[in-house]
Structure formats: structure tokens, C-alpha cells
Amino acid sequence: MAIAGWAGPCNDDNDTAKFSAVVRDWERRFGARVVAAGFSTLHLSVAAPPANEHEALLVAAEHFAFCPDNTTSLVVGDESDSYLGEVLTDRPHPLSAFQVNIGSASLRGSALMFAAPAASSSDEHAWVRDQATELPGSRDEHDVHEAAAALCGLPNDIAGIVDPGLLATHDHFGVRQAGAVLCMRFPARHHRTALHLARDPDLRARRALAEAAANAAVEGPETDAIRQILRGDPCHSIRSRAGARRTTPHRAGAPGRTPARSGSGAEPDEVEVPPPQTVMDPALQSGDPVRHTDAVPRIATAASSRQVRRLTTMALFGPPVIVGLSLLAANPDWSGLGLVLGTFALIATLSLMITAAPNGWLIVGGVIVGIAALSGPGPVLQAEVMAHQGQRVEVRVTSVKTYQGKHGPEYTCLLGRVDGKPLNHAELGNDSCDGPMEVGQTEDVLVDPHGWTAPEPAETDYSGIDIAAWALPVVLVLFELLVWLSRRVGQRRFEGR
């Protein structure tokens, strides 16, 4: 990773000495070396990322605080030093054996990030703001992202002129993140824009809005409404940020960055966000139709405690239905239908649980127990019937069906009773059929006197099947317990317990 820093020619010898000390300190702490030196630019290349990259960037920004006027040409792009050489950053030839990309060729965005903390007066902050609002039109994604981050670091009186509504419609997620931060600095003024960003398709933009809302310096019904919407977001990191405690107002900046402050003074003590009031979307209060073309693609969640009870009540019928369909699949005549309907019943039950309580652990447990409830009862029923009621009869192989399997030919032996009596499901699968040479041979099999299950070889071992049979009610009870837990978790979201 390469970190580029640059310095305009400082007229003050004291400033030059300070910058030289900064370079030596950077070399000592981060292993940096000067790879190119020009009259107006120094490029510092770091062979490996330092342990604290943010501190390294602050070291470079410290120099620009000495002579900020000389960084403006790099931001605007007037100098050739605003761009790295094409030898390093140009796109590789499409037929090249090695496709290497070391990042953006432009240094304008990085220069703007260095100029932002160097600005001290209102005019300098305004200049940074103007450049930050122009760079999002660049085709270089790195410049766009750095411009958005620089915009978030401006004081409120300077950044308040920027319209977040224009930023919220930008294609780059970083610009929409900046719009989210600015919205929550003035929540009453930009409430509709904040509502739009709360449904942004990119979770990074919604996460920035949640963090800005949690650290908002201005409290009011608009801020509470945004927090309330974000607490229902499908992404856990967004929900946790929307419900987090607010610390100091000056932290309401870009995620991971601290914005500049126009004033000074002691930081206020940490305060806790009061419980949010239920504030409806103005479009819902007025009865106007709400368009969902830009809504966040997300799973449906219950909107009230009553809906949670209704959904989980329906889900309680799912486990016994799944077990019953699995038992139906023990009959070869109904095995296909039983498995298909059982799969649909399992999906429906899990969907009801997810809607009532979108909890990851409950869903994982429901999937595991649900698969056991669908795949276990049928084979256990067949083994129980054969172990306790199976009758030993002599059969003859009348013919053999051959079909191509995954690992070679597989066979199915068709059977007929030697005594001439009818035999239901008269066939043995590939595990008990050795091929065409079986035709005409006789063997003993166990048959179900009620004709429900297929015959099995007489030497089949059914020891321990009673223990497996007792496991079925345990699986059923566990599944019902998970449904009940989903009801409890879903109700806590609305009851606050």
C-alpha cells in the first residue's frame, strides 16, 4: 500500500525544518522512505501499511497546517503533480499476463483530505466545501470518496449550505453517506431526505445514517422517527447503531472520522438518548400512497405484538404437519408428494418465524431441527414396523430394472411371492439387488402385513431403533420450543422487556 504526501515550497525555514522532522519521524516510526523528490512535491512511499495508518496521515496533515496555501493547486488539479505517472497507475494491457491495479492515479482527493484539517478560517473551510462539492462529479471513485469524507469534516455553519438532497441521489455510496451525515446535523430541515436515505439499497449509507442519528446533537421528533425506522432495519449493525447511546455532539460526523468544530470549550458529559416517540412518516399520516420503488430490499417483519402472536400461532401447527408428511413419505406410493409438501411446510414455518422474530440463532436452530423433523420420522416408522410387525416370507426375483446412476449402473429387483399371494411395493433397491444375475433366485424378506412400507431384506439389523423412535417426540418438542421462543423474542421488540 502506498501513502502519498506532498508539500508546497514553504518560504519559512522554520516550516521546512519542521517538515523535515516530520519526515524523519515518519521514517523512524513507519519505515517510510523518500522515493522521489521534486521542487514542489515529495512522494512518501510506505512499503507496508503502518500499524496506525490514521496517525500516519495526521503526521502528513500536520505539515499542511504550516503552509496550507500551497496545497490548493494540488486539489484543483492545476499541477502535473496532482496525478501519479501512468507507468504506475495506467490500466494494464488486456492481453497482459499480469493484471495489476495499485489504485487511483489522481491525488486530488487525498490532497483535499489533507487540506481539510489544515483549514482554520471560514474562507478556507468554504474553499474546501466548494472543492468537495465539485469532486463528486469526477469519474475517479477515490476522489469522490475522499471528497465526501472531507465534506463530513466541515463545521456545521459551513456544511449547512450544502443540500443533502442532491447528495442522496448520487450513485456513489460515499456521497450518500455524506448526505446522511449532513441530514442528521439539521434533521428538521432535511427530514424527507433522511427518510429516503433510511431506505437506501446500500447498507453502508443506512449505517452512516444510523450512526449519525445516534450521535445527533439536535434532538426532536424527526430524529426519533429516523431512529425508529432504522431500529427495524434487517441489518444487525444498523439496528445496533440506531439504538446505541449518544456520546458527544461533535461526534455526529462521518463514520470513523471526527468533524471539525467551529467553536471551543469543554465536551459535554455522556448522555443517554431518551426513548423514541412513535412518529409516523408524513406520507403515511396524510394517507398519500407511498411508492416503494426505492425501498430497501429486505425481509418482511412483524409490525406489532399482535401480529407476532398471530404469526407464531400459525407456525405452531408447522412441526406436527412436517412430521406427519414425513410419515406419509414412508409409503413408496406417497414418498414424492410427502417430501415435497413437507419441504413447503418447513419453508412456510421458518418464514413465519423469521417474520415474527428475525433472530439468527433461532433461524439456524429451526433449520437444523426442521430438517431432522422432515427426514427422520419416515425411515424410523418403516424400521419400527419391520422390527415389531414384519413377516418373513420367501420371494423370487422376477426381473431387474437397470438405470445409470452417478457412479455407474444401478439396479432395482422386482419381486413376487413364491406362494403366489400379492405383494405390495414388490421391489428391492440398489443396495439389496446385485444385478441381472439375481433373476430367478429366491430369498427371504420382511414384509409389512398392512402393506404400508416396502419389503426389506430379512437380515436387516434393527437394534437400537426404539431409541431412535423416542428421539422423534424430542425433535417435535424442540421445534415447538423454537417457535415459542420466536414469539417471545418478537414480542420483546415491541414490549421493551
Residue 199: is it exposed, middle or buried by C-beta count within 10 angstroms (0-12/13-18/19+)? middle
pLDDT category of residue 35 using cuts at 50, 70 and 90: very low
pLDDT category of residue 107 using cuts at 50, 70 and 90: low
Rg (CA), the chain: 35
pLDDT category of residue 290 using cuts at 50, 70 and 90: very low
CB distance 104 to 88 below 8 Å: no
Mean pLDDT computed over 74-87: 48
The region, left, alpha or beta by phi > 0 then psi within -120 to 50, assigned to residue 455 is beta
CB distance 222 to 279 below 8 Å: yes
Q: What is the pLDDT of residue 425?
A: 76
Residue 335: is it exposed, middle or buried by C-beta count within 10 angstroms (0-12/13-18/19+)? middle
Percentage of the chain with pLDDT > 70?
Answer: 65
Cell numbers describing residue 80 = 502535473
Residue 456 has, within 13 A of its CA and on its CB side, a CA count of 20
Cell numbers describing residue 92 = 494494464
pLDDT exceeds 50 at position 31 = no
pTM: 0.41
Q: Which is more confident, 336 or 102?
A: 336
323 secondary structure, DSSP code:
H
Mean pLDDT lowest for which of 24-38, 55-69, 367-381? 24-38
Q: What SS3 state is found at 452? A: coil
13-251 CATH: 1.25.10
pLDDT category of residue 216 using cuts at 50, 70 and 90: confident
Q: What is the pLDDT of residue 220?
A: 84
Top-confidence range, 221-230, 271-280, 431-440, 472-481 = 472-481
Q: Which is more confident, 40 or 371?
A: 371
CB distance 459 to 392 below 8 Å: no
Closest residue by Cα to residue 378 from 436, 330, 344, 434: 330
29 secondary structure, DSSP code:
H
Cα–Cα distance for residue pair 84/119, rounded to 1 Å: 25
DSSP assignment string, 212-260: HHHT-SS-SHHHHHHHHHHTT-SSHHHHHHHTSPP--GGG-SSTT----
pLDDT category of residue 91 using cuts at 50, 70 and 90: low
Cα–Cα distance for residue pair 485/458, rounded to 1 Å: 45
The per-residue pLDDT for range 373-421, each reduced to its tens digit, is: 998 888 888 888 888 878 888 888 888 888 887 777 888 888 888 888 8
Phi and psi torsions of 91, nearest 5°: -65, 140
Mean pLDDT computed over 286-314: 61
Q: What is the pLDDT of residue 264?
A: 37
CB distance 249 to 269 below 8 Å: no
Q: What is the pLDDT of residue 477?
A: 93
Q: What SS3 state is found at 400? A: strand
Q: What is the pLDDT of residue 428?
A: 80
Q: Give the chain's mean pLDDT.
A: 70
34 secondary structure, DSSP code:
E
Cα–Cα distance for residue pair 78/407, rounded to 1 Å: 69
Cell numbers describing residue 90 = 495506467
Q: What is the pLDDT of residue 320?
A: 93
- Terminal Cα-to-Cα distance of the chain (whole angstroms): 48
Q: Which residue has the cell 445514517?
A: 209
Mean pLDDT computed over 426-447: 80
